[in-house]
Structure 1
Amino acid sequence: MSNKIKVLIAEDMEPIRKRYVNVLNSDPNIEVIGDVATGSTACELAFSLKPDVILMDIEMESKDAGIRATGQILSKLPNVKIILLTVYEEDEMIFSAFQLGACDYILKISKNEDIINGVIGAYHNQSPIRPEIASKIRNEFKRVKTYESSFLFMLNILSTLTPRELDTLNLLINGHTKKEVCELRCVEMSTVKSQVHSILKKFKKRNISDIITTEMDRSLLETILHNYYNK
C-alpha cells in the first residue's frame, strides 16, 4: 500500500483506547490520526480529519452513543468504514449499526493481529459477514417481506373504500359508537350501518375492531384520509 490507512478510534476506556492506538500504529500500513472518548467528539473529528476507518465503541457517553455517531458520520461520509467495538458478540446494538452501514465488529478481547486484520479488511471492502449477523439479516428480510405484504394488502383494501366509508371506519376505530358517528356526520343510522356492512364485506371481517390492528394500519388509514380531504 502506498498510503497508510488513516484510523480514528472512539473508545471511552482510556487503557483500551491506548492499546488500540499502540497496536495499530505498530503496523507500517496504518496510522492512527485521532483517538477520542465520546461519540460526539468522534463525529467532530471524523468530519474534520476524514479517516479511512473508524473503530467505534458502542457504549460511551450513552448506551447507544456509538450507534448514533455511526449514523451521523455515514450520513455525511458514506465511504468511511466503521468497525464496532463490543464486549458481547450477540449485542443487538451491533445489528442496529449494520443497518446504518457499519461494516464489521471487533470484540474488545480480540488479539492484536485480529484488530489489525479487521482494519485492513474493512479498508479493502473485505470485511466478513459473521454468522450471527448473517442470521439476523435473513430474519430481517423475512420481517420486511411480511411487513410489505401486510402493507400492500391493507393499502389495496383501503383504496377501495369511499371517502365516507374511510371517515366512518376512522371514527369507529377511534372509539366512537355508531350513534356518535351518526351525530358527528349528521347522517341516519341506516346510512352508517350500510357503510359498516360495505367496509366489513371488503375486508372480509366480522367486526370493525378486526380491521385496524397495528400502528402501521392506523398510520396508513390516516395518510389516506389526509390525502382525500386535502386534494
Structure 2
Amino acid sequence: MTIRVLIADDHEMVRCAFRMILDSQPDLEVVAEAADGAAAVEAARRLRPDVCLLDIRMPEQDGLEATRLLAGPGVTDPLNVLIATTFDDEYVYRALRNGACGFLLKDGAPALLPEAVRAAAAGNSLISPSITVRLLEHMTLPAPKPSGSRRTTTRRRMSRLPEPLTEREVDVVRLVAQGFTNEEVAAELYVTLSTVKTHLGNIQRKLTARNRVEIAAWAWETGICTRDC
C-alpha cells in the first residue's frame, strides 16, 4: 500500500529535497506541499494523508499550532504528524504535547526520512535514541524531598492507574522510553515481535496513550525511566 505524505516547510529547497527522497521510494508518495502552517492544515484536512511532515518554524501558522489542529487532544480523527526540525528543546517538547508522533532531525541521514515516515504511518513512531533522551529527560521528576524517594513516588504514581502495568509491561515501557524500536524491544526481552505489539496495545489502553511517544513521556514523567536507565 502506498503511504501518502504531505510536506510543509517554508523553504522550497527543503521541500524539494524531501520530495526527491520520498518519491524515490516505491511505497511513498508526496501528495501535497505547503509553505506555511495554515496551508498545511487546509491541505491535510482535505486530502487526509497518511503522514504530515511538518517544520516547526513557518509563517502564517507555525508547525506547533498546525500539529495541535491536526493531531492534538480533542481532535476527532487525528492525523499522524512527523516533525522535521533542527532541534530546539522547547519547541519540540511543545510539539510532543500537541500530538506529534515522531521527530526527525533535518541534518540527519537522508535514509532515515523514509523509515521515519513508514514508522509514523504504521503507528510505530520513530524517535532516534539521542532525540529521545534529550527531549524526554525534561519530563523527569523533580528532586525528591527528604521524606521520600524517586522510587516511592514512582510506585505511588503507578498505583493510581485504574489497571496497573504488569512487570513485563514496565520493561517494555522502559525500553520504549529509551528509543528502542519494536524489533529491538523483542530482541532485548527475548520475546516475539507479536508479543511486543500485544504488550504495547495493552500499555496504550491502560495509560490512555495515543502512541509510543506518549508512553515514553509517561515513563519519564513518572520516573520509570531516568538518565540512568
TM bucket by the smaller chain?
0.5 to 0.7
In 2: Cα distance, 1:139 partner to 1:112 partner: 28
Q: TM-score if structure 1 supplies the norm length?
A: 0.55
- Once the two structures are superposed, what CA deviation does each residue of 1:134-173 show, in whole Å capped at 9, x if it has no partner? 4543543526x99xx9xxxxxxxxxxxxxxxxxxxxxxxx
- Alpha carbons 1:95, 1:133 under 8 Å: kept: no
Contact 2:116–2:126 (CA under 8 A) maintained in structure 1: no
Which residue number in structure 1 is paired with residue 81 of structure 2? 82
Structure 1 CA distance for aligned equivalents of residues 11 and 99 of structure 2? 24
Counterparts of residues 6-25 of structure 1 (less than 5 Å): 6-25=4-23
**What do you get for the CA RMSD once the two structures are aligned?**
2.5
* Aligned counterpart, 1:73: 70
Distance 2:113 2:126 in 1: 13
State the partner residue of 1:114.
112
From the superposition, tell whether residues 86 and 26 of structure 1 become closer, same or farther in structure 2 (CA, over 3 Å).
same
CA, structure 1 residues 66+80, in 2 after alignment: closer, same or farther (shift >3 Å)?
same
For the pair shown, which has the larger CA radius of gyration, 1 or 2?
Answer: 1
In structure 2, how many angstroms separate the alpha carbons of the residues matched to 1:91 and 1:59?
13
TM-superposition CA deviations, 1:175-206 (whole Å, max 9, x none) = xxxxxxxxxxxxxxxxxxxxxxxxxxxxxxxx
Q: 1:26, CA displacement in angstroms?
A: 0.7
How many matched pairs? 142
More helix, by proportion: 1
Runs (4+) of structure 1 moved beyond 4 Å?
A: none
CA offset digits 1:34-68 (Å, max 9, x no partner) = 00100000000011000110110000106x70000
User: 1:55: which partner in 2?
Assistant: 53
| Identity of matched residues, % | 30
Matched ranges for 1:1-231 at <5 A? 3-61=1-59, 65-75=62-72, 76=75, 78-87=77-86, 89-129=87-127, 130-134=129-133, 136-140=135-139, 142=141
**How far off its partner does 1:90 sit?**
4.2
1:136–1:85: structure 2 CA closer, same or farther, 3 Å change rule?
closer
More relative contact order, 1 or 2 (CA 8 Å, 6+ apart): 2
Look up the SS of the partner of 2:14 in the other structure. helix
Q: 1:105 & 1:34 partners in 2: Cα distance? A: 20
SS of 1:83's equivalent?
strand
Deviations 1:82-127 (A, max 9, x none): 111112x343201110111101111222332111111011111222
Structure 1 gaps of 5+ residues are 150-231
